[in-house]
Amino acid sequence: MTFRDWASRVTLIFFMFATLISVVFMSRSRQIQVHSNASTSGATVGSQYPQAQLQSVITTEEKKRTLSKAPVNNQNQISQINTQYATTAAFSQYKPNLARAEVDPSNYGERYTKDANGVPLNNQPLIVLHETSNSASSAVNFFQTPHDDEDVQASYHALITTDGTVIYLVPPDKRAFGAGNSAFKGVNGIETVQTNPQLPPSVNNFAYNVSLETPRDAWGKTNIEEHSGYTEVQYDSLAWLIAQSQVSDERITTHRAVDIANGKVDPLSFDFDRFFNKLHSFRELKTFNNVKKS
């Protein structure tokens, strides 16, 4: 075999190997690509919401409702029975588009274990619902812009576009700046945390802030009392996202409900009945007994 023939064969084998690598790489790229419309420009593929996050204690009233549906041979065993949310078959069948967009570090922070006075914090997680007031891409661009002014800094943990795409923004273990001066009124009384002595107290330290993209007919409009509402897939994706948490229904609230004195009214035209019907189809409370048999 001449040197030219040997070189030709080596070159052919090299190109065949390179072509094989390219095909495999392109195939893997197609498998992980997430469809996004124009409103999610700048977002990249995100991972599924971590089920280990947002663990919460099921409220006593919710536990009683669950236990009332389950046979209990000994009422003394009620305190030994625990409840936990589990996702359903309907949840498994729903597959929303997922994306991720990086947020500038100036627009989110760490969750504190003590308040501004050094008092330990033990608030249970809270989910606060918002809306963008403009397009999803506009909100993402704002969060990706550095802001030195603490009164301007803002972010959500997740954003759901009108086509149902879930955009992950701030990791659940971090503090998103979704609600300013705010407090939650729950079964344990008023809950709020002041982490910065220069700023008013807020629920952000124990909240998971989720926003819905505002419908186009309300983009940029202020002082309106309602709009056309959210799409079916937005409710589906919102329910799908929250179904993976252990946050009880009673601790799912709105920016309007927790806001103090700033006149926040979002999310406008939100249908709680519609949302909870979907949420309850995606998750259900399961009971298990901790009593050991002798």
pLDDT, greater one: 2 or 17: 2
* 137 and 164 share one domain: yes
| Residue 93: exposure state from Cβ atoms within 10 A (0-12, 13-18, ≥19) | exposed
Tokens of 94: 């729903």
* 68 and 157 share one domain: yes
In sequence order, the 6+-apart residues with CB closer than 8 A to the CB of 243 are 85, 87, 88, 91, 279, 282, 283
* 15 and 96 share one domain: no
**DSSP-assigned states of every residue in 240-263:** HHHTTS---GGGEEEHHHHB-SS-
Three-state secondary structure call for residue 43: coil
* 24 and 52 share one domain: no
* 54 and 93 share one domain: yes
Three-state secondary structure call for residue 220: coil
Tell me how far CA of residue 222 lies from CA of 95, 99, 133, in angstroms.
Answer: 34, 29, 8
pLDDT at 226: 87
Tokens of 186: 């729950």
* 222 and 284 share one domain: yes
pLDDT grade for 288, boundaries at 50, 70 and 90? confident
pLDDT at 26: 37
For the stretch 74-131, pLDDT in tens is 445 545 568 899 999 999 999 999 999 999 999 999 999 999 999 999 999 999 999 9
Phi and psi angles of residue 258, each rounded to the nearest 5 degrees, phi first: -95, -15
pTM of the full predicted structure? 0.76
Is residue 170 scored above 50 in pLDDT?
A: yes
Domain containing 6 equals 1-33
In sequence order, the 6+-apart residues with CB closer than 8 A to the CB of 231 are 162, 163, 164, 215
Check which CATH number belongs to the domain holding 66 and give it: 3.40.80.10
Q: Is the Cβ–Cβ distance between 213 and 119 less than 8 Å?
A: no
Q: Give me the chain's average pLDDT, please.
A: 80
Q: Is 201 within the bounds of a domain?
A: yes
- Tally of domains within the chain: 2
pLDDT at 261: 83
* 151 and 11 share one domain: no
pLDDT at 136: 97
* 167 and 257 share one domain: yes
Q: Is 162 within the bounds of a domain?
A: yes
pLDDT at 25: 34
Is residue 161 scored above 50 in pLDDT?
A: yes
pLDDT, greater one: 173 or 64: 173
Q: Is 257 within the bounds of a domain?
A: yes
* 7 and 127 share one domain: no
* 57 and 144 share one domain: yes
